[in-house]
Structure 1
């Protein structure tokens, strides 16, 4: 029986593409300029490919889809080294965090909910289920998103990149959630739109629920996820079947 659910944020609760793809296209030229590198189309496309973005499409197993800023910085630095360009990874991480946070938390940003998040969380809690967030996003950006949507208070737990927690699929956020509410691993479901969310669930003894509302297709989940849904709108029916 499921007693706790950890939700990914982007691609699961809010639209990934209108937020992060747009941000990546804005941030990359600015990042290149900050490092005194050419921000021409060729170099911009090269760095975007290092992030897992090509021809306006996001690789579901690429960095932008699920990795932390530290991991994205490492990927970009490795790619630039192949061109003979050496940058400090810590500085690149700081730049990416600042530039992306500025893009996705700006005053005019509009987050598009994939469903009525607040209602879903209230319905789940009405069934005695603890609800939490587990995202690769920074804590500041994640909380800013939830507060702007008016849903922050609906979450019993918010797990994000605070510079201390290890990112998914490491156990940190799963264990925090598990211990806070005295749950068994098998009582926790992880709902997310990437294979990384599935690994996060499976590595920690939880139930993996993949959703097709973000960057992944059914093929990306098949054989690994315990359940595959079109979106979290189908979650209530799934929980009823599982009971």
Structure 2
């Protein structure tokens, strides 16, 4: 843990309450894909990872871990390449606007970010949402000024779990990957950290569980509210 100077955060489930923010948006998108058919829309939601019995998104599902391109591929299997590209652009626009407008910050996240920023940590976001969606959400939450960069799936050649965003953040800040911590609530966040040579910090505030995250994590915390105190203890 010694020597950590920069922190990359996943967005949904780490900074933002995933369930509170995304169910209504996902349902709206699924209903559109199903041409208004409620039962088909429900089936699409389930296929992408929503558990209606438990009222939550499943860990590491397409919804929890994938990109809009992954969702379009799943929901529109018969679409042509051009049609999918157009639909991805549409999904990016909708999720950027709606995700920012409906973003619910996780308890303690803003105070934690302020503490880390004041302590001199370089902060960034690495998400499989679009870059525009990430930037709009940070502005909506009132924390954008604390971040050096936001990397969406469309800002790098290869999205999570590839380590491209770690390399980009390293290049931007001049920090070594070993001086960077990646914080997230799904396995792909931790896989990205391992692939990029960064510290893998799991949080239990999103869709991941202790059982799913512990095998890949260097550290498991309840949420990023615990991060400033943990880093201070380990400094």
How does the TM-score come out when normalised to structure 2?
0.88
Q: After the TM superposition, which residues 142-221 of structure 1 pair with which residues of structure 2 at under 5 Å, given as runs? A: 142-162=134-154, 165-221=157-213
Q: 2:105 aligns with which of 113, 122, 125?
A: 113
Q: Does 1:140 align with 2:137?
A: no
Tell me, yes or no, if the aligned pair for 1:69 and 1:93 is still in contact at 8 Å. no
Deviations 1:199-232 (A, max 9, x none): 0101111111111111111111122111111110
Deviation at 1:20, TM superposition (A): 1.4
Q: Does 1:71 align with 2:73?
A: no
Q: Does 1:40 align with 2:32?
A: no
Greater Cα shift, 115-124 or 40-49 = 115-124
Deviation at 1:31, TM superposition (A): 2.1
Deviation at 1:150, TM superposition (A): 1.7
Deviation at 1:99, TM superposition (A): 4.3
Gaps of 5+ in 1: 34-38, 81-85
Change (3 A) 1:184 1:51: same
Q: 2:51 aligns with which of 50, 54, 75?
A: 54
How does the TM-score come out when normalised to structure 1?
0.86
Change (3 A) 1:93 1:220: farther
Greater Cα shift, 99-108 or 58-67 = 99-108
Q: Which has more radius of gyration?
A: 1
Q: After the TM superposition, which residues 94-109 of structure 1 pair with which residues of structure 2 at under 5 Å, given as runs? A: 94-99=86-91, 101-102=93-94, 105-106=97-98, 109=101
Change (3 A) 1:100 1:144: same
Greater Cα shift, 90-99 or 218-227 = 90-99
Q: 2:31: which partner in 1?
A: 29
Deviation at 1:109, TM superposition (A): 3.1
Gaps of 5+ in 2: none
Q: How many residues of Structure 1 are paired with residues of Structure 2 in the alignment?
A: 231
How big is the alpha-carbon RMSD for the aligned residues of Structure 1 and Structure 2? 2.2
Q: 1:125: which partner in 2?
A: 117
